[in-house]
Amino acid sequence: MSIPLDSGTAKKMSAFHCANQCTWCDGCGDYGIWTAVKRSLSELNIPPHGVLLCYDVGCHGNTSDKILGYRFHGLHGRVIPFAAGAKLANPKVPVIAFGGDGASFSEGVGHLVHGIRSNYPITFVLHNNGNYGLTTGQASSLTQQGQPMNTSPNGMPEHTLNSMDFVFSLEPTFVARAWSGDIAMMTRVLKAAIGHRGFAFVDILQACPTYNHFATHEMLLERCYDVNAEGYKPDDAVKARALALDTGKRIACGVLFQREDLPSFYERLEPRKNCKTTAVEEVQIVDTSEWGREFV
Amino acid sequence: MTRISLKVTGAQGQGVNSVGEMCAKGLKRIGYCVFGYREYMSLIKGGHSSYQLDISSEWIESTETEVDMLVCFNHHGLERNACEVKKGGIILHQTPQWKFSKEQQKFLDDRGVRTVYLPSEDVLKKLKAKPILGNVLVTSVVWALLGRKAEELQELVQEQFGHKGEKVIEMNFKCIEEGFAFLETIDPSTSLPTGQAGSGGKLKMENCLLLPKPNADWKNHLLITGSEAMGLGLIHAGCRMYCGYPMTPSSPLLSYIAGMQNKTGMIIKQAEDEITAAQMMSGAMHMGTRAATGTSGGGFDLMTETPSVFILAQRPGPATGLPTWTAQGDLLLAIGSSHGEFARCVMAVADAQDCFDLMPEAFNIAERYQTPVIVMTDKQIAEALFTQAPYDQKKAKVDRGLLITNPKELKKLKSTDRYDPDAKDGISPRWLPGAEAATYCAQGDEHSPDGSVDETAKNAVEQMEKRMKKMKAIERETPEPMLWRVQNGKCKEEKADVELDLLVVSWGSNKGVILDTLKGHKGQGPKTGYLHYTYMWPMKTERLKKLMAKAKRTVLVECNHSGQLGMVIQMAGGPAITEKILKYDGRPFFVDELLSKLS
């Protein structure tokens, strides 16, 4: 796989370089995702001070001090509402939220539902490695049923949540999939997601060499393919859903679905229409005498 | 002090609130201080609810257990509340063929209570008026019984319903005329001695409830609930985003501020749960605007030193408890709820004045110290109706602390300035995402000065001490509790640590009723005082110590079972207050009740 860089990208990418050493396991998918995030921001000409990166808790959350940019590393499962609040306060700054499958499909699944439903203008990157890695390999709701894991030595008894079917049932406006071994693909998908009008859901299938022995780097390498390169157009939700669910032989990656005709949550806020300033710029003492008179 | 009270009772949805609110507004406009108190159940229609107005020409902010006039929309009020009517009082009801039990009738006769039956349904049928107009009809009879003029009510109706068109107004006016006419043609067999019955004359003044002489000062005052006052206060403070999840008693604030959004341009979000609301607020504050959330529980964002403002509206627990009633049981929750330790400021509002004034203060403290501020209120404040002087719009200033926005200064910043452990008072410079400057990580893990994860013992100690230093600074800045004295019927702040016969110590919504009680407190002589806590944490006890050492008797008054303020005072090294008056039945203290307990 070749990763063509234009002459300026490497220099721009180095602006995101952070001196802290990475602490992930050898072969962890986070290395690839970390690189792709830096590269996509660089190719979009977004400098470190021009973005807010919000991290959930988990192995991916350890990216928070391995990259420059304004970052927030918050509470487990709660990254989406934090990122949404930040974005609504200042829509001029791109906001990207990162969360694992453990956080996003168990503890914080409600936030994912309402994030998609609200169509907040943010990007959400799912680090999907099929388990709770940082807490040493427990089953998540996306782990394969029957798979023996840390707290389920006899195999996970619950059935696996079909994440893509679930996400499509929420009528998303942007769904993409990539995998952690393909930096060029992740870059392309992330750039499209950051440019999306509303809530962009990016599912990144991520290798976890330590605990995930069922969806390995090799397996993903073999099965994942660039569906857009094969001429697929991401404009039909029914087709996209079927494509996303059909992972038996090949796994379709790329932008699977996108519609730009629906306004984002912010655009739907009546009081913010024709409003040129952001809430961050509006902080001042407001004279309320006029509204107080309604009570006289 | 002369005060009279009026209580409207009925099922929820029957118009109890409409009648209560209309009377309150009308009375205030004439020149009375009105305090409104609502009791209702956690259901939409049915049940038994009440709206009580206590009325005086002097300042009052409390409720009595007994009333001068009782208005009953159905027989439940007659059964349950008739025994609350004072000597010479009036009961106005709408239940056909109603007969009190023998005991009740004797009780009412002994008290000289007069009963008026208003056949609302017949009157409305005759007028071909919709059932909803029953509210105006009842209000007009109340108005007549208060000895007031029909024109005053008509003016109010014109203002409230004028936008609905002439026909609606005409029908409302007819109902008002009919209400006044009804009292003149009343059946002499009822126990109200009309005197003028059938003679076509006017209702005699002696048959009315005598209101005290009005005082024009109240006319320009606001009649406002604590929730509305808090909403105005948030808007005033420059709060640009409010996120909440509906839950009594914090939902009226969410409703009010959401209703104002087209005027204020604020971002309002009814979140999917309380955690979402807290997170969105934190995200927005982190980004640099002013945002708040309100709930009856709440989650606090730890360690990232993101300023945040939480409104904690108390109701009785545990669990769902008494959803629509009041309590002061969450003080220890506000002070103590945390995973690990972090600096915070807890303040408690007492009334509609505080609700407005403390909002800019809450944001200023949150931003100055980059830490959560919890503002406590309760159902009593959230939904009581206060007569409130127009707010001073000039008093508050925005203080954003060490927020750096100047481009030149931004350029000079290093990532490690953000959480610099050597910063004075533990407060390091703060700058916002998007600012052209070195970036940092607002890190939930224990971190080094630039927000990188750092688990070394040395760093852990430095950062913990940095954050906790803020407590000392907040303590230095926040004022001691205020001492209130009642002299010649007026409440005044007392700066000196005077010698007192009776010192009452309390917080929150008890302030109004305690001050009203002290006005009526004769037994202890004039040397009574009330020490009111607004800043609950960090807790200050120096003034209390001095006052208590001199006072003959000190009493703690709280609406909870454990005397939580007393516990917090002792936690902070203050004296133990052994005499306690505690109440935990979901009701606030009533003025006559507290007076008898203090005597």
- The CATH number assigned to the domain holding B132 equals 3.40.920.10
Give yes or no: residues B492 and B525 share one domain: yes
* Residues in chain B closer than 8 A to A280 (CB atoms): 240, 287-289, 432, 434
Which pLDDT belongs to residue B197?
32
Which pLDDT belongs to residue B193?
40
B398 found inside a domain: no
pLDDT tens-digit readout, A222-232: 999 999 999 99
A178 found inside a domain: yes
Give yes or no: residues B459 and B362 share one domain: no
Could you tell me if A17 lies within 8 Å of chain B, comparing CB atoms?
no
Of the three residues B202, B218, B234, the one that is the final residue of a domain is B218
Residue A264 scores a pLDDT above 70: yes
* Average of per-residue pLDDT across A87-95: 98
> Which of B537, B497, B163 shows the shortest CA–CA distance to B343?
B537
- Nearest chain A residue to B26 by CA: give it: A296
Task: State which H helix or E strand residue B595 sits in.
Answer: helix B591-598
* Minimal Cβ distance to B272: which of A62, A114, A279: A114
Residues pairing with B337 in the sheet: none
User: Which residues span the domain enclosing A37?
Assistant: 17-295
Q: Give phi and psi for B548, each to the nearest 5.
A: -65, -35
Look up the CATH number of the domain holding residue A85: 3.40.50.970
Rounded to whole angstroms, the Cα distance separating B203 from A69 reads 78
B402 found inside a domain: no
Which pLDDT belongs to residue B295?
84
B76 found inside a domain: yes
Which pLDDT belongs to residue B464?
96
Which pLDDT belongs to residue B206?
61
Cα B462 to chain center, whole Å?
Answer: 41
CB contact under 8 A, A295 and B291: no
A11 found inside a domain: no
- Nearest chain B residue to A271 by CA: give it: B265
Give yes or no: residues B526 and B568 share one domain: yes
B401 found inside a domain: no
Look up the CATH number of the domain holding residue B339: 3.40.50.970
3-state secondary structure chain A: CCCCCCCCHHHHHHCCCCCCCCCCCCCCCHHHHHHHHHHHHHHCCCCHHHCEEEECCCHHHHHHHCCCCEEEECCCCCHHHHHHHHHHHCCCCCEEEEEEHHHHHHHCHHHHHHHHHHCCCCEEEEEECCEECCCCCEECCCCCCCCCECCECCCCCCCCCCHHHHHHHCCCCEEEEEECCCHHHHHHHHHHHHCCCCCEEEEEECCCCCCCCCCCHHHHHHHEEECHHHCCCCCCHHHHHHHHHCCCCCEEEEEEEECCCCCCHHHHCHHHCCCCCCHHHHCCCCCCHHHHHHHC
Domain count, chain B: 4
pLDDT tens-digit readout, A7-35: 678 888 999 999 999 999 999 999 999 99
What separation, in Å, do the N-terminal and C-terminal C-alpha atoms of chain B show? 18
Which pTM was predicted? 0.91
Domain count, chain A: 1
CB contact under 8 A, B441 and A72: yes
Give yes or no: residues B466 and B493 share one domain: no
CB contact under 8 A, A82 and B269: no
* Minimal Cβ distance to B442: which of A71, A110, A271: A71
Give yes or no: residues B110 and B234 share one domain: no
Rounded to whole angstroms, the Cα distance separating B337 from B541 reads 22
Give yes or no: residues B384 and B414 share one domain: no
Rounded to whole angstroms, the Cα distance separating B38 from B51 reads 5
B399 found inside a domain: no
CB B385 within 8 A of CB B545: no
The residue type found at A75 is L
A69 found inside a domain: yes
Which pLDDT belongs to residue B202?
45
3-state secondary structure B346-415: EEECCCHHHHHHHHHHHHHHHHHHCCEEEEEEEHHHHHCEEEECCCCCCCCCCCCCCECCCHHHHHHCCH
The segments of chain B whose pLDDT lies below 70 read 1, 186-207, 297-304, 521-526
* Residues in chain A closer than 8 A to B439 (CB atoms): 48-49, 68-71
Give yes or no: residues B192 and B100 share one domain: yes
pLDDT tens-digit readout, A38-59: 999 999 999 999 999 999 999 9
Give yes or no: residues B206 and B236 share one domain: no
B395 found inside a domain: no
User: Which residues span the domain enclosing B324?
Assistant: 223-388
Could you tell me if A230 lies within 8 Å of chain B, comparing CB atoms?
no
B537 found inside a domain: yes
Give yes or no: residues B300 and B350 share one domain: yes
Q: How many helices (H) and strands (E) does chain B have?
A: 20, 22
A30, HSE (Cβ side, Cα atoms, 13 Å) = 24
Give yes or no: residues B16 and B149 share one domain: yes
Give yes or no: residues B503 and B432 share one domain: no
A123 found inside a domain: yes
Which pLDDT belongs to residue A9?
84
Which pLDDT belongs to residue B297?
53
A8 found inside a domain: no
Which pLDDT belongs to residue B299?
43
ipTM above 0.95, yes or no: no
CB B208 within 8 A of CB B196: no
Q: Which two tokens stand for residue A68?
A: 């420059």
pLDDT tens-digit readout, A108-151: 999 999 999 999 999 999 999 999 999 999 999 999 999 999 88
Give yes or no: residues B119 and B164 share one domain: yes
A268 found inside a domain: yes
A4 found inside a domain: no
pLDDT tens-digit readout, A140-160: 999 999 999 988 999 999 999
Å between B314 CA and nearest CA of chain A? 25
Of the three residues B195, B218, B241, the one that is the final residue of a domain is B218
